[in-house]
Amino acid sequence: MALWVDKHRPRELLKLDYHKDQAENLKNLCQQGDFPHLMFYGPSGAGKKTRIMCLLRELYGAGVERLRNETMTFTTPSNRKIEIMTVGSNYHLEVNPSDAGIYDRVVVIDLIKQVAQTHQIDPNGQRDFKVIVLSEVDELTKDAQHALRRTMEKYVATCRIILSVNSTSRVIPAIRSRCLGIRVAAPTPNEMISVLQAISKRENISLPLELATRIIDKSERNLRRAILMLEACKVQQYPFTAQQDIVELDWQVFLRETANQILTEQSPAKLEKVRDRLYELLAQGVPPDVIFQGLVKELVKNCDMSIKAKTLEYATLYEHRMQNGAKHIFHLEAFVAQFMNIYKKFIADAMMMDDF
Partner 1 sequence: MNTRKKTWVKSVFSQLPPETNNNSVASPSLVDKQKPKRSLRSKARHDHTQDITAVVNLDSDEEDSKQQQMESNVIQTNACITNENWIDLYAPKKIEELAVHPKKIQELEQWLRHCEIMKKKKQPVQLCLLTGPSGCGKTAAVQVLAKDMKFTIQEWTNPVDQDMIYNLGDQVFGESNFTSSQVDAFKAFLFKASRYRSLFEIAGNDRRLLLVEDFPNFLLRDPTALEAILDDYVIYGRAPLIFIVTDTKRRGLNLSYNIFNDQLKQKFLINHISLNPVAATIMQNAMKRFCSLMRHPPYNELYRPPSTDLIDSIILSAQGDIRNALINLHFSSLKGAPQLQTKPLECSQESTQDNSKKTSRKRKHQSTLKSVGRDETVTMMHALGRIFNPKFTESNGLLHAPADIAQAFVTEPKKFVDFIHANYLPHFSDIETVVDAANGLSLCDLILNEYREDTLALSGLDLGVRNVMLANRNPVSGWMPVKGPKRLNTDNASIIPAKASTFLPPHHNISKSQYAIEYKTFVNIVSASN
Q: Which residues bind partner 1 (CB under 8 A)?
A: 1-3, 6, 44-45, 67-69, 85-87, 94-96, 98-99, 135-136, 222, 224-225, 228-229, 231-232, 235-236, 247-251, 266-269, 271-272, 275, 279, 282-287, 290, 318, 321, 324-327, 329-331, 333-334, 337-338, 340-341, 344
Instruction: Kindly report whether the peptide bond that precedes residue 239 is cis, defined as omega within 30 degrees of 0.
Output: yes
Least distance from partner 1 to the Cβ atom of residue 314, Å:
9
272/304 with CB nearer partner 1: 272
Please identify, using beta-carbon distances, which residue of 28 and 69 lies nearer to partner 1. 69
Q: Is the dihedral of CA 121, 126, 129, 134 positive or negative?
A: negative
At closest approach, how far in Å is the CB of 139 from partner 1? 8
How many angstroms separate the CA atoms of 76 and 107, rounded? 9
Q: Nearest approach, Cβ of 224 to partner 1 (angstroms)?
A: 6
CB 244 to partner 1: min, Å: 14
CB 142 within 8 A of CB 133: no
Distance separating the N- and C-terminal Cα atoms of the chain = 65
Of residues 157, 183, 173, the one with CA closest to residue 35: 157
Q: By C-beta, is 110 or 333 nearer to partner 1? A: 333
Q: How far apart are CA 277 and CA 197, in angstroms?
A: 38
Secondary structure element (H or E) that encloses residue 332, with its range: helix 328-355
**Which CB, 65 or 128, lies closer to partner 1?**
65
Q: Give the shortest CB-152-to-partner 1 separation in angstroms.
A: 20
Residue 333: CA count within 13 A, CB half-sphere:
18
CB of residue 327 to partner 1, shortest distance in Å: 5
* SS3 (DSSP) at 214: helix
By C-beta, is 12 or 136 nearer to partner 1?
A: 136
- HSE-up of residue 297 (Cα within 13 Å, Cβ side): 11
Q: Which one, of 133, 195, 146, lies nearest residue 8 by Cα?
A: 195
Q: Which CB sits closer to partner 1, 114 or 267?
A: 267
Q: Which is nearer to partner 1, 191 or 289 (CB)?
A: 289
In the complex, the smallest distance separating the C-beta of residue 48 from partner 1, rounded to whole angstroms, is 12
Cα-based angle 165, 64, 159 (whole degrees, multiple of 5): 60
Amino acid at 203: E
CA 62 to chain centre: 27
